[in-house]
Structure 1
């Protein structure tokens, strides 16, 4: 009996319930969208698999056998639970509900995502958003996230990427007092004569400052007495005159406007693609994620009245 039950398909079990409900093969077949002969074959296959007769059939009537009554009493509640589960999954695919988990960096969370997510929550009251901000790279699939938001250049190629911002620049800055004392570097090679504030990444490596101009690309292992692992601390050190810093322009736009920091080597730090929301291409995106993608695309349209990052 156990092997027979394991082999029974959901379609066969639903066929049995329909016949038991209508007590008529033609009416049951119409409900299921089958021909009467196909339905009869499905019931016969189920009976053969179980090794018992489920229905007593004559040319005029259909009635459950004792074994059929017992089997139906056990199967019908389970089918109802399955139907409810399938409806719930279907609802997730059609209507934004549930929890949407997103991984990003602290800077992107503050600078790009928060205004978008606040509008998203206003539009979709049945969705909960869990935003995890950390600077180390993560595997969003292995760590259970629905999506990530990172710089375009760091996104794996097997992901769907949706732009969230304009271009970003990583620039070299220093305080006016530092530049008066040590001079202004004209090329990346001049950095050997400067105190540079180094940045240690989450993998333990010290970041090499990257430059590009007219097709020439450089990665410079700068020297300096101060090594930090926090963007905010790097900016604070530069403001304090500790040396030159290589930072995202987003991190220092306010202090650049006030003149507290000054950009140098500007012609060696061109803009590059900004941040993108990304998610696995091989997975079915839930309605909650599809709704966020739609909002980001709306947010980025030049004609949109919403403020854009």
Structure 2
């Protein structure tokens, strides 16, 4: 068996990038080399190992059966190596740098209300740069260190670290509105209420989802106002414009201050876990590692 050298470790890291992206061009962009150089390196790796790892055509590249097996072993091994190297980062002094994170607005609020406060206290020299957008993107090709999504939609080739707090939806309205129109007892009763519509990034109107005792209902929410921002929907509800269907974090202050009341609580769907995710085949920068450690520590403290 060939000995593990620094160059072969680099080649194995490059193989993981190629096998994950299934593209020499995208893998080369990530690593910072030319696609032709990467292709030659993969052929040299295959020659040293004595087995073909990649199927190549003029338009695509994909792992062979041996390549898939090697990929499955290398991803956790390289992640463990990164963790081992980062474990001594604290001896270099304060962690510094910038962490670029992509997140939908719905889940970005969970970071602001939990992780960012702890990051500011523990690592004041780390800048957390969050870009909020609605569409799902490839965080690697777009230059992000990590992303945030619902746990069930995290790509399989990424490492996911669940947040301490899940995403929960609630229906809210102002006391004055409910005094005038009454509390809806079932989702069907919303048809006679003013509902504050939610326009999704795709441009479509969100259909309100409900669930109770295994029964699922989807309601077309009709009303005089349509918005695309959670906090604006909360403000519209405070102004007596109708019932809003929002993430619970957006309405916390208004609920605790008595400006809004929850309705249809027995019909709301179960909370969905949210996770920070990042590529497992590349080195984890100290600033990102510090961010992930805060996420993990908050998760451990969850009651």
Q: Above 0.5 in TM-score?
A: yes
Specify the alignment match of 2:189 in structure 1.
Answer: 190
- Helix, strand or coil for the counterpart of 1:204? coil
Specify the alignment match of 2:55 in structure 1.
Answer: none
- Helix, strand or coil for the counterpart of 1:217? strand
Specify the alignment match of 1:253 in structure 2.
Answer: 252
Please give the per-residue CA displacement for 1:253-283, whole angstroms capped at 9, x wherever unaligned.
2221222111111011144134321112444
For normalisation by structure 1, the TM-score amounts to 0.61
| 1:277 pairs with 2:301 | no
Specify the alignment match of 1:101 in structure 2.
Answer: 100
Distance of aligned partners of 1:286 and 1:263 in 2 relative to their CA distance in 1, 3 Å threshold = same
Q: Counterparts of 2:115 and 2:102 in 1: how far apart (Å)?
A: 11
Specify the alignment match of 2:77 in structure 1.
Answer: none
Q: Counterparts of 1:99 and 1:254 in 2: how far apart (Å)?
A: 30
Q: Counterparts of 1:181 and 1:136 in 2: how far apart (Å)?
A: 38
Higher relative contact order (CA 8 A, sep 6+): 2
Asked whether the equivalents of residues 164 and 295 of structure 2 are also in contact (C-alpha less than 8 Å), the reply is: no
- Helix, strand or coil for the counterpart of 2:240? coil
Q: Pick which of 218-227 and 108-117 moved more.
A: 108-117
Shift of 1:100: 2.3
Q: Counterparts of 1:119 and 1:277 in 2: how far apart (Å)?
A: 20
Asked whether the equivalents of residues 194 and 224 of structure 2 are also in contact (C-alpha less than 8 Å), the reply is: yes
Q: Pick which of 273-282 and 187-196 moved more.
A: 273-282
Q: Superposition pairs for residues 112-123 of structure 1, below 5 Å? A: 112-122=114-124
Unaligned runs of 5+ in 2: 1-6, 9-83, 90-94
Q: Superposition pairs for residues 76-91 of structure 1, below 5 Å? A: none
Q: Counterparts of 2:161 and 2:112 in 1: how far apart (Å)?
A: 18
* 2:113 corresponds to which of 89, 111, 114: 111
Q: Counterparts of 2:290 and 2:298 in 1: how far apart (Å)?
A: 12
Distance of aligned partners of 1:121 and 1:131 in 2 relative to their CA distance in 1, 3 Å threshold = farther
Q: Counterparts of 1:194 and 1:158 in 2: how far apart (Å)?
A: 44
Distance of aligned partners of 1:288 and 1:114 in 2 relative to their CA distance in 1, 3 Å threshold = closer
| 1:264 pairs with 2:263 | yes
Asked whether the equivalents of residues 93 and 286 of structure 1 are also in contact (C-alpha less than 8 Å), the reply is: no
Q: Could you say what the CA RMSD is over the residues aligned between the two structures, in angstroms?
A: 2.9
For normalisation by structure 2, the TM-score amounts to 0.62
Distance of aligned partners of 1:158 and 1:191 in 2 relative to their CA distance in 1, 3 Å threshold = farther
Specify the alignment match of 2:238 in structure 1.
Answer: 239
Q: Counterparts of 2:285 and 2:195 in 1: how far apart (Å)?
A: 46
Distance of aligned partners of 1:91 and 1:265 in 2 relative to their CA distance in 1, 3 Å threshold = closer
Asked whether the equivalents of residues 98 and 128 of structure 1 are also in contact (C-alpha less than 8 Å), the reply is: yes
Shift of 1:295: 2.7
| Structure ID, larger Rg | 1
Q: Counterparts of 1:257 and 1:271 in 2: how far apart (Å)?
A: 22
Distance of aligned partners of 1:98 and 1:258 in 2 relative to their CA distance in 1, 3 Å threshold = closer
Shift of 1:154: 4.2
Q: Counterparts of 2:282 and 2:202 in 1: how far apart (Å)?
A: 29
Q: Counterparts of 2:115 and 2:166 in 1: how far apart (Å)?
A: 15
Specify the alignment match of 1:292 in structure 2.
Answer: 291
